Amino acid sequence: METPTRTISVTGHASAPAVPDIATAHLSIETLAGSVEEAFAQSGRTLDALRDALHSAGVEPRDIATTDRSLRAERKWRDGHDDGLLGYVARGTVRVTLRSLPAAAGVLQSAIAAGGEQARLEGFSLEVSDPTAVRSQAREAAWQDALARASQLAVSSGVTLGQVLRIEEGSAGGGLPPIAFARVAAAPHADGAIQAGEQEVQVSLGVTWSVA
């Protein structure tokens, strides 16, 4: 009968700092009109004005995407009773990628101003456009952490580490992505400019060694 291979399995964790260099914003508009046709027409004109403002501010077409168009009936209510149709609400959402953080606040202000009272900023996030180098740095640190853990266990148990049998990047249970971004700081200056702050690229490595 073949003797089972003895092993030590550990998970190494590490993170590396990264400064965000792009932003993603979601801008939406809502218009109320008496007919379906007019509601869509008004929302289309407002979306066009918003997109034109983004283009004028230097945002490239590839960085502007319409992500939602919807329509619903809006009814009047009085004392809990339906008092008839008020009109139709058309909604549209645009996702915009801003590749210059110093200019981002001004670009968003111009776009919302162009959309008027119907426009609003729904969401805003900061991202690292290319985390490859930082991810590699975190991965190397995670490997060193795994090796240190395994070496300590080997010494404590009186065995010697052998060959690496398995390396798995990510959580052991698969519930978390291999690379996770943790927001550290991202806040506007008093003058409206956006502070990029810092994010962390987090990596975990599950490693199994044979032991002798």
Residue that terminates a domain, selected from 127, 149, 176 = 127
CA dist list (Å): 38 to 33, 84, 175: 6, 19, 47
- Specify if 1 maps to a domain: no
Q: For residue 75, with 0-12 CB atoms within 10 Å meaning exposed, 13-18 middle and 19 or more buried, which class applies?
A: exposed
- Residue 197 sits in which domain range? 7-19+130-211
Q: Kindly state whether residues 40 and 55 are assigned to the same domain.
A: yes
What is the full per-residue pLDDT of the chain (212 aa) written as tens digits? Answer: 566 789 999 999 999 999 999 999 999 999 999 999 999 999 999 999 999 999 999 999 999 999 999 999 998 888 777 778 889 999 999 999 999 999 999 999 999 999 999 999 999 999 998 989 999 999 999 999 999 999 999 999 999 999 999 999 974 333 333 333 333 333 344 355 778 888 888 999 999 999 99
Q: CB of 159 within 8 A of CB of 149?
A: no
Where among 105, 127, 149 does a domain terminate?
Answer: 127
119 shares its domain with 178: no
Give the chain's domain count.
Answer: 2
CB atoms within 10 A of CB 67: 11
**Residue 127: left if φ>0, alpha if ψ -120 to 50, beta else—which one?**
beta
Q: 103 and 33 share a domain?
A: yes
Question: Does 34 map to a domain?
Answer: yes
CATH code: domain of residue 13: 3.30.110.170
Whether residue 115 sits in one domain with residue 44: yes
CATH number at residue 39: 3.30.70.2970
Residue 202, Ramachandran bin (φ over 0: left; ψ between -120 and 50: alpha; else beta): beta
170 bridge partner residues: none
Rounded CA-CA distance 87/73 in Å is 6
Q: SS3 for 38-79, per residue?
A: HHHHHHHHHHHHHHHHHHHCCCCHHHEEEEEEEEEEEEEEEC
Q: What is the pLDDT of residue 182?
A: 35
